[in-house]
Amino acid sequence: MDTQNITKIIEGLEQGEKLTFEAFKMLMTAGGDEKKKLMRAARACADKVYGKDIYIRGLIEFTNYCKNDCFYCGIRKSNSNAERYRLTKEQIMDCCRQGYELGFRTFVLQGGEDAYYTDERVCDMVSEIKRRYPDCAVTLSIGEKKRESYQAFFDAGADRYLLRHETANEEHYGKLHPSELSCADRKRCLWDLKAIGYQTGCGFMVGSPFQTLENIYEDLIFIKEFEPHMVGIGPFIPQKDTPFGNMAAGTLDMTLRLLSIIRLMNPNVLLPATTALGTIDPKGRELGIMSGANVVMPNLSPVNVRDKYALYDNKICTGDEAAECKNCLSLRMESIGYKVVTARGDYKVI
């Protein structure tokens, strides 16, 4: 494979040309200098839109009860080894207060699909956060709901919603989820969220069981068509008490290449270097930023519940207070010439 080809493919992406499957395969396998070229181009693209600023999101994992049974996930309902918890509204407000003092201007409320958190309770929580911190954005990540519920959360003040599509291919979707869940429903939720007016995020796990390069290509095409404001990708990491407990994890190499490709295909997108990426490699998040990511999401959950939100094994930062997490990430970003900023960090169009 010659350098010229890779350069051409990158230039094509920069000009908004469609990525063919053949070109995609080349980007996923190109070695040495060519791989570096891909990453450099993606980083330059992110710099053009977001400069040296890295946005931080305070992640509050407020419940690990879940009615779903996704085969990959450590908080699936069948995992009887999971120690269940849910935070009270007061505890959540306390996380926000701490976060606000530390400079967070986005709070991400993530959890399993927990029936205790009715629409009314979610709305109450969202409106209280927005009342106390009107200069902050609230992001929800609480799974699949009826359109009416999404509308109610939005009316209560929620700004953004993260719902990874997990895989754009129905057959692959079926291998990762029980039969009650479908790719079509998941996509329907995403289109509803966008139509309501949320800044919407989709995404998928890299190296999830049974995933093929064709599947990933479909993910990229779906993302292009959906035009999300955010894309969350991170390596799949096995969790020992799930049906996929013995499967191989996704790799750093593939995740970085995909971050770069997603950045080049969607120049304005908000793209986190995820905790899962930091878990499979000690420099994963720094490398993620250098490959085109522009967001990090440190944990604001109380330390005593951190290790219970165990989607996968060996998750990092479960023992650190919020302030330590923020400082650690600020230093990590500075070490590569970037800067964590105090800002809502909305989607930018330039």
Query: Would you tell me which residues interact with ligand SAH (CB under 6 A)?
Result: 72-73, 110, 112-113, 141-143, 163-164, 166, 205, 234, 236-237, 239, 276, 311-312
| Maximum C-alpha span of the chain | 59
Smallest gap, in angstroms, from Cβ of residue 225 to ligand SAH?
A: 20
Nearer to ligand SAH, 258 or 341 (CB): 258
Residue 138 or residue 163: which is nearer to ligand SAH going by CB?
163
Query: Smaller CB distance to ligand SAH: residue 19 or 189?
Result: 189
- Give least dist CB 58 to ligand SAH, A: 16
Q: Which is nearer to ligand SAH, 35 or 76 (CB)?
A: 76
User: Cβ of residue 75: shortest distance to ligand SAH, in angstroms?
Assistant: 8
Q: In what order do the strands lie in the sheet with 295-296?
A: 295-296, 53-56, 339-341
Smallest gap from residue 37 Cβ to ligand SAH (A): 28
Shortest gap between Cβ of 322 and ligand SAH (angstroms)?
A: 19
Separation of alpha carbons 253 and 258, rounded Å: 9
Beta bridge partners of 137: 106
Q: How far is the CB of 114 from ligand SAH (least distance, A)?
A: 9
Nearer to ligand SAH, 162 or 340 (CB): 162
Task: Choose between 16 and 282: whose C-beta lies nearer to ligand SAH.
Answer: 282
* Closest distance of CB 315 from ligand SAH, Å: 9
Query: Which one, 70 or 333, has the nearer CB to ligand SAH?
Result: 70
Nearer to ligand SAH, 72 or 217 (CB): 72
Asked if 206 contacts 277 with a C-beta cutoff of 8 angstroms, the reply is no
Token pair listed for 95: 């996380």
| Distance in angstroms (rounded) separating the CA atoms of residues 215 and 310 | 26
Q: How far is the CB of 140 from ligand SAH (least distance, A)?
A: 9
